[in-house]
Amino acid sequence: MFIRTSLKGCHAHHRGMPEPTVYHIQKGKLVKVPDPGAFGRGDCYLVDAGLKIYLWIGPNSTVDEKFLTAASAVMRDTARKGQADIDRIEGGNEPEEFKALFDDFRLTDEDTESILKKVQLEKREYKLWRVHRQGDETFFAEVPLSKDSLKSDDVFILDTWDNIYVWRGRAASAREKFDATILARAYDAERVGVQEIELIEEGQEPEEFLRALE
């Protein structure tokens, strides 16, 4: 996933309001929507309206889509030093102020392919995610569940269902460490139950962490 932290100029809206920019989660990336106003019930969207950021959560969307949308909103808010309000909207229960942002607001039956299999939460599979900073963008991607995947210049999030570990490579940047913690919190917020988030420095790995990667 990449998250742009620079703001683009908004097009003039016929109501005299700036038109919001709408992003859509597609295979782990935030993709700008060419037709703002159409919202798929199986998807999640980030609506950037300047001083307000909306998370539109489709009623048929998956946990990973909800998580990535929430994490993206937190990143954008952080880039604005917390000046934007973040509102979560459940699809089908939109307030009038939200609908009024679009010329033609409507719900569709669109559903993009999810990153995680929908059965993942039933199987309780372990997952390892890499957090990598390049230029002004943060990339976030799943990598093979193995010690060999760990690189000193990046940060990794290990989800073992009961615990969420943030492994911080000794050469990782402060921004990568910060972004990974934000992402881990957003991930935790979208999960059922209570998970512990544990920070681990490279070279100080506990036994249970190493066992989970075998």
158 in helix, strand or coil? Answer: strand
Task: Name the amino acid, one letter, at 51.
Answer: L
Domain containing 16 equals: 2-108
Q: Are 101 and 15 in contact (CB under 8 A)?
A: no
Number of residues that this document lists for the chain: 214
Q: Are 30 and 73 in contact (CB under 8 A)?
A: no
Let me know if residue 116 belongs to a domain: no
pLDDT tens per residue, range 124-141: 678 888 888 877 777 777
Average pLDDT over residues 76-101: 83
Q: Which of 77, 108, 139 is the last residue of a domain?
A: 108
pLDDT tens per residue, range 19-69: 788 988 776 667 788 778 889 888 889 898 888 889 898 888 877 777 777
CA 113 to chain centre: 15
Let me know if residue 113 belongs to a domain: no
Closest CA to 91 of 60, 120, 53: 60
The helix (run of H) or strand (run of E) holding residue 177 is: helix 174-189
Average pLDDT over residues 160-184: 88
* Average pLDDT score, the chain: 78
**Number of domains observed in the structure of the chain:** 2
Q: What is the CATH number of the domain that holds 147?
A: 3.40.20.10
Whole-number pLDDT of residue 142: 79
Closest CA to 76 of 136, 118, 27: 136
